Amino acid sequence: MPIPSTARYVIIGAGIHGLSTAYHLARALKAKGRASQADIVVLDKASIGAGASGIACGVVRNNYFQPAMRELMAHSVLEWESDAKAYSYHACGYMQLSCEVMHEDISSIYQQQQAIGYASSLIEGARDCDIYLKNMFGDWQARGITSILHEKKGGYANNMASLYALGDKARAEGVKIFECVTVTGFEFDHTSSAISAVETDKGRIECEYVVIGAGPWISKLWNMLELPKSVSIKTGETTMLNDVPMWRFWQLEEGVLDVDPGFLLTEDGKMPPVIHIDTDAPLYSQTTGKLISDELWGIYYKPDYNFKGIQGGAMPYKINTPADEIKLDPYGPESPEFVASIEFADMWTSALAFCHKRFEGKNINYRNEKSGGLGCFTPDSFPVFDVFRQNCYIIADSNHGYKMLGVGRLVAQEILGETAALLEPFRLSRYGLGKLHPVSHSPFPWS
Ligand SMILES: Cc1cc2nc3c(=O)[nH]c(=O)nc-3n(C[C@H](O)[C@H](O)[C@H](O)COP(=O)(O)OP(=O)(O)OC[C@H]3O[C@@H](n4cnc5c(N)ncnc54)[C@H](O)[C@@H]3O)c2cc1C
C-alpha cells in the first residue's frame, strides 16, 4: 500500500508509545465527532516492535523514588489492567529487595504508595525479611536484605503480544500503519517554523501534526528537527551546569536461563512476583570463584513462559561514545556491538545462585544467544514529554517506557488541547528551571 501524500497526524515509530498514542488519539477524535479516514498514519522504518519495545523484558512496576514517576506508573498499571488478556499482562506483582543503604528510600516509596492508594507492603529488618523470603522460597539464601517492598500490582507483559494487540486496536479505530517506511527529514513552514511535511524514503506526507515515539533513535530524529544538542541544567540557586549533552546511551544487559519457568514457583506453587534485588554484599563468580563485586549491585528476574525460562537482567553500563557516533542499526540482538556481555552471564547467574540454592550450578544453563540492547537516555535519565516546533510531540521515555502503556492516552489528550497534569513534570524546561526529580541510591539509572 503506498503511503498517502497527506495525513492529519503522522506518528513516527510503531513501538509502545507510537501505537498507544495512535490508538487513543483515534478514539478521542471519534468521541469528539472529528474522525476521518485521513486522520492518523503510523510510520515505522522496520515493523511493529522492531525497537526497544520488542525486546523489553516487559517488567511493569511502580517502584520509583521520584513521586512524579510513581504517579505516572500507577496510571499506566490501570491501563495494563484494562485489557490484561489482550496485552498479555501477568499481574503477579513486583518485589524490591534492598540492603541497608537503600532502606530509607524504599520506606519513603512505600509511604507514598500508601498515599496514592497503590497496594504494597513493606517488610523491614534483616530477620523479618529473611522469614518473608523463606516463606516464599524455601531455598532463599541471600543475606543482608533489610527491606522488602512488595507491590501487589504490576508484574510483566509479553512484549510482542502486547504490541500486536495495540496495533490491532489502533487499526480497528481506523489508524493506518505503514511498515518499512523510513523518515528521513522534515519540511518546515518558513514563517512559523512548524513542521509542514514529513519526508520519507517512500515520498513526502503533508501533515498538521507529528508525534515521535522513536525509542533509541530519538537522537537522530532530534537532529532532523534541528533541536539543541545540549542543555543547561540549574543545579542550585545560583549554579548552572552548561553544555550537558541532550542524549547518551546505556547498554541494557539481559538474558535467559534455560530451565522450565516452573523451576521458580513459590512454596505454595504460584508464579512469584518479579524480583529485583540490590545489595552491597560481596558477589563471587560461580564459574571461577573470583570476586565479581563488593560494591552495590543489582539484578532482576522472573519465570517467563514467553522467553521459555528464567529471564532477567542486571545494571546497564554507560556507553561513552557520543550519541551522534553510535551505530544503532542493526538494533538489539542483531547488533554486532551492543549485546549482553560474557561478564553479564557470569554475574547474573552467580547472583541468581547467591539468592536461591536451586540456581547453584545452573550457570551452565545460561542460554547462549544474543540479547540485550541500547537505551537512549536524557540528561537526568527521566522522560521528556513535550511539544517542539509547535506541532511535534516528542515522547522520549529515557528507556523507562515499555511499562508506560498509559502515556499514549495522556499524549492524545494533550494533542487535543487538554493538559495532562501527570506529564507536566516531564517538560524539557525543567532543566533550565532546576525543577529536577530526586535521585535515589539505586545502582540503576532508572529507579
Ligand atoms: C533490553 C531492554 C529491556 C527493557 N526492559 C524493559 C522493561 O522490562 N520494562 C520497561 O518498562 N521498559 C523496558 N525497557 C525500555 C523500553 O523498552 C523502552 O523505553 C520503550 O520500549 C520505548 O518505546 P518507544 O515506543 O519509544 O520506542 P521503540 O519501541 O524503540 O520503537 C521505536 C520505533 O521507531 C522506529 N523508528 C526509528 N527511527 C525511525 C525513522 N527514522 N523512521 C521510521 N521509524 C523509525 C523503530 O523501527 C522502532 O520500531 C527495556 C529496554 C531494553 C533495550
- Here the contacts of 277-280 (C-beta below 8 Å, separation 24 or greater) are 277/97, 277/98, 277/142, 277/145, 277/351, 277/355, 278/96, 278/97, 278/98, 278/99, 278/102, 278/442, 278/443, 278/444, 279/97, 279/98, 279/99, 279/142, 279/144, 279/145, 280/99, 280/101, 280/144
pLDDT at residue 85 in the model:
98
Instruction: Say how many Å lie between the CA of residue 278 and the centre of ligand 1.
Output: 25
Instruction: Determine which residue's CA is closest to atom 27 belonging to ligand 1.
Output: 215
Same CATH topology for 1-90+154-234+380-447 and 94-152+248-377? no
Instruction: Determine which residue's CA is closest to atom 6 belonging to ligand 1.
Output: 56
pLDDT of 439 above 90: no
Query: Which residue in 412, 425, 368, 390 sits closest to 79, CA to CA?
Result: 412
pLDDT of 272 above 80: yes
**Average pLDDT in the chain:** 96
Task: Work out which ligand 1 atom sits closest to the CA atom of 183.
Answer: 42
pLDDT at residue 221 in the model:
98
Candidate from 53, 250, 405 with most ligand 1 atoms within 8 A of CB, to mutate: 53
DSSP state at residue 366: B
pLDDT at residue 24 in the model:
97
Where is average pLDDT lowest: 129-133, 160-164, 322-326, 338-342?
Answer: 338-342
pTM reported for the whole predicted model: 0.96
Cell of residue 116, nine digits? 496514592
Task: Give the other-Cβ count within 10 Å of 296's Cβ.
Answer: 18
pLDDT of 445 above 80: no
* Tens digits of residue pLDDT in 30-62: 999 987 876 999 999 999 999 999 999 999 999
Instruction: Say how many Å lie between the CA of residue 214 and the centre of ligand 1.
Output: 7
Candidate from 24, 202, 217 with most ligand 1 atoms within 8 A of CB, to mutate: 217
Cell of residue 247, nine digits? 542524549
Q: In the predicted model, what is the mean pLDDT of residues 420-436?
A: 97
pLDDT at residue 69 in the model:
95
- Only one residue has cell 540557586, namely 237
pLDDT confidence band for 443 (50 / 70 / 90): confident
Instruction: Say how many Å lie between the CA of residue 414 and the centre of ligand 1.
Output: 22
Q: Is the peptide bond before 336 cis (omega within 30 degrees of 0)?
A: no
Instruction: Say how many Å lie between the CA of residue 54 and the centre of ligand 1.
Output: 7
Candidate from 376, 399, 403, 404 with most ligand 1 atoms within 8 A of CB, to mutate: 399
* Tens digits of residue pLDDT in 318-337: 999 999 999 999 999 999 99
Q: Quickly name the fold that domain 1-90+154-234+380-447 has.
A: FAD/NAD(P)-binding domain (3.50.50)
CA–CA separation, 344 and 359 (whole Å) = 16
pLDDT of 227 above 90: yes
C-alpha dist (Å) from residue 280 to 97, 128, 295, 299, 356: 12, 19, 5, 12, 17
pLDDT at residue 444 in the model:
79
Given a contact cutoff of 8 angstroms between Cβ atoms, the answer to whether 370 and 333 are in contact is yes
pLDDT confidence band for 376 (50 / 70 / 90): very high
Q: In the predicted model, what is the mean pLDDT of residues 333-346?
A: 93
Instruction: Say how many Å lie between the CA of residue 191 and the centre of ligand 1.
Output: 34
Q: In the predicted model, what is the mean pLDDT of residues 63-92?
A: 96
Candidate from 205, 315, 402 with most ligand 1 atoms within 8 A of CB, to mutate: 402
pLDDT at residue 361 in the model:
96
Instruction: Say how many Å lie between the CA of residue 105 and the centre of ligand 1.
Output: 28
Task: Work out which ligand 1 atom sits closest to the CA atom of 44.
Answer: 44
Q: In the predicted model, what is the mean pLDDT of residues 363-374?
A: 95
pLDDT at residue 12 in the model:
98
Which residues does ligand 1 sit against, CB inside 6 Å? 12-18, 43-46, 50-53, 55-59, 182-183, 213-217, 252, 254, 372-373, 375, 395, 397, 399-403
Pairing state between β 40-43 and 6-12 = parallel
pLDDT of 306 above 80: yes
Q: In the predicted model, what is the mean pLDDT of residues 237-242?
A: 94
Given a contact cutoff of 8 angstroms between Cβ atoms, the answer to whether 255 and 367 are in contact is yes
Instruction: Say how many Å lie between the CA of residue 91 and the centre of ligand 1.
Output: 22
pLDDT of 447 above 80: no
Instruction: Determine which residue's CA is closest to atom 22 belonging to ligand 1.
Output: 215
Domain boundaries, the chain: 1-90+154-234+380-447, 94-152+248-377
Instruction: Say how many Å lie between the CA of residue 32 and the centre of ligand 1.
Output: 30
For domain 94-152+248-377, which architecture applies?
2-Layer Sandwich (3.30)
pLDDT of 120 above 90: yes
Instruction: Say how many Å lie between the CA of residue 92 and the centre of ligand 1.
Output: 24
